[in-house]
Chains A and B, each alone.
Chain A
Amino acid sequence: MIKIKKGKPLIDQHDKNGFWGGKFGGNFIPETLKKPIEDLTILFEKLRRDKNFIKERDYYFKNWVGAPTPFIKLENLTKHLGGAQIWAKVVSEANGGAHKIYNATVHCLITKRAGKKYIVGDTGAGYAGKMLSMAAKKFGLKCKIFMGVKDIKRQKPNCDAMRKNGAEIVPVYSGSQTLVDAVSECMRYWVSNCDTTAMCVGSTVGPNIFVKICGWSTAQISRELKNQIKFVFKTIPKKIKLINCVGGGSSAYGFWSEFIDYSPDRISLIGVEAGGPSKSKLHAAPLSRGAKLGILHGAASYVCQNNEGQINETESISAGLDYPGVSPMHCFLKDTKRAKYTFATDEEALSAYKLVTKFENLNPSLEPCHAFAEAIKIAPRLSKDTIIIVNSCGDAQKDRDILKQRLGR
């Protein structure tokens, strides 16, 4: 039986080979990347213990990203559903409009310390790319973003932002032309340019160190939330449900990290994956739809794949969740039963968008709408003293074309 240790951040609960629970994660990488990854690991472990670096990080989180992001009660939605209280952590209020800013900022700060001038990154929804382009500009780095052609088309507003920030978008034509292909292409680019260039992986996926850096960065969300909960309720309430969408799992990990040591009865963690169109066989929900363990982008995790080990095509209305793998830390949380994972379909996410925007002055992107869909589903049958908190981790501005097409607005 694999177990979670208390009092130790989950990002550090891997063995010396980089595996969580003995089998999730690791470093399945070409020999060429061994050295740059080792260098990055040493540098990161040094910096996270460096008071000046922490000060610098906190300074930018507070004054540039904007901390804390709001924690609000969705009064109207709560009343409408007539059960549990529904709250939102409005992470989309962070600079740039999503949680991807934390990882991007930290990677750029590390890159500067490493003395490198170039940074590359992958993106699906375009937020990871937009934020990396913002941070790169802020810290004087040259930036290239790899993005699938399908995503370039469906997330145009974020592409415009990247270009405005001076980043080059490299379109990826291979495979399904989505996030999975963007990550592959970005890694291939890094193999060829790792002597001069830093790589930022856009979520808690990839070789071990990228999982850790990303989780360390997004953990800011739950540090803020813990204080906000204590401030609002004067204590940590007895029944809390933290609901978060899961693509690679960076926002979910960041939303949960401070609460993992609590008992699941008191604070339950619910991850919502992309179920895809209800009529389609394709989805992007490896955890909740029983995908097998496999290796993708340098790490072992549950992966949507066929018997042979070829990675499956995925489908989701939400580009940010449209990914066949998932963070090894979420595989670990699933197998230890600390978190539960489910999925919402495209249609459910769209209905959730309609309902949330009808009742609240909030504009969640299609990714967090998957989390809202679950909240809407379970709230009515829960008691009024249950506190549901949804991480509203992205702004729907980027989805305006899809929403217009699907909902006529």
Chain B
Amino acid sequence: MIMSPISLAFKNCKKEKRPALLTYTVAGDHTKKKSLEILNSISSHVDICEIGFPHNTPIADGGQIQTSSYRAIKNGIKMKDVFQIVKKFKKNINAKPVILMGYYNMIYQYGENKFLKKCKQTGVNGLIVVDLPWPDNKIFAKKCKNNLVSFIQLLSPTTSQARMEKIIKDSHEMIYLISMLSTTGGKLKVSPKTILKNYNKVKKINKSKNLVIGFGITSKNISSFKTADGCVVGSEICKKISQSIEKRQNPVTNVSNMVKNLKKKIS
């Protein structure tokens, strides 16, 4: 069997005995061009790029990602631009696997099938849909798989053991563990130890799944999660973009430096 690009990325990290670094940036933040430049500039330091397709009524995002999303929408980002950005990014020889992340209404309005076809065409490798939980996502997840797009299930500290087992059974090669009860970008309000305990609980159910931890991870705490399969950093990067704009600095270099530093902390 051929390994999916996402699985391959994790495998490479394991060889290097470090977690995969996943970044989250919003497509079109703060312009289409800049967001592509950011992706290109961080690509050699990250293992998987999560790219948000912004929605103007996000019910699970904190302030930083909301700011990035609203900024991108204000600058006119459309779904077709999101796919354009992915397509162009994928032409970079250093390009990494891409996971699109967003809210279901955007996919629903685009049309599930058309959306997945477009994902396949442009080189999207995975999909996270924040508000389409299991088991409601079962049919759609299958459709994703048929289009060689990995559907990434989410687990939360509130997910019961029994539910976890069922979700993991229906999951593909990667699973996203939400670190704590929070929207994205919240302060890490529980200890890394508690989070890793939950992490290990999930791994115990099926250790072959690539399990990444996200929500509240920043340069300050990422080194505490070295034992995880992967760490996602989103809000800190979005915040960096906001600060760069405010200070009239180049967000591309600032984000690139930040990501380089993140990588160093887990290597």
**Partner-B contacts on A (CB < 8 A):** 17, 26-36, 174-175, 180, 184, 187-188, 191-195, 292, 294-298, 303, 305, 307-311
Contacts and interface: CB of A to CB of B under 8 A. Distances in A.
Contacts of B61: 188
Interface stretch (B6-14, B50-58, B195-203, B238-246): B50-58
B120 interface: no
Given A29-B133, A192-B186, A296-B57, 20 more contacts: A28-B105, A30-B130, A30-B131, A30-B154, A30-B156, A31-B133, A32-B158, A32-B178, A34-B156, A35-B159, A188-B62, A193-B181, A294-B105, A295-B131, A296-B105, A303-B105, A305-B105, A309-B103, A309-B105, A310-B55
A160 B56 CA distance: 30
Nearest to A296: B57
A32 B158 CA distance: 6
B159 A309 contact: no
A174 B62 CA distance: 11
Interface in B150-174: 154-160, 163
A187 to B, nearest CB: 5
Contacts, number: 111
Given A298-B131, A308-B109, A175 B57 contact: yes
Nearest to A33: B158
A9 B186 CA distance: 41
Contacts of A175: 56-57, 70
Contacts of A191: 59-60, 181-183
Give the dominant DSSP class at B's interface. Answer: loop
Contact of B181 (A32, A292, A294, A297): A32
A30 B59 contact: yes
Contacts of A31: 133-134, 154-156, 158-159, 178
Given A30-B130, A174-B66, A305-B105, A184 B183 contact: no
Interface in B175-225: 178, 181-183, 186
Interface in B20-70: 55-62, 66, 70
A118 to B, nearest CB: 14
Given A188-B59, A192-B183, A194-B158, A27 B136 contact: yes
B154 A192 contact: no
Contacts of A180: 57
A25 B32 CA distance: 34
Contact of A30 (B60, B70, B105): B60
22 contacts: A28-B104, A28-B136, A30-B131, A30-B156, A31-B155, A31-B158, A32-B60, A33-B158, A35-B159, A174-B70, A175-B56, A188-B60, A188-B62, A188-B183, A191-B59, A191-B181, A192-B186, A295-B104, A296-B57, A298-B59, A308-B79, A308-B109
Nearest to B78: A308
Contacts of B108: 294-295, 309
A137 B66 CA distance: 33
Among B73, B78, B132, B186, chain A packs the most CB atoms within 10 A around the CB of B132
A303 B132 CA distance: 18
A34 B59 CA distance: 14
Nearest to B159: A31
A310 B58 CA distance: 10
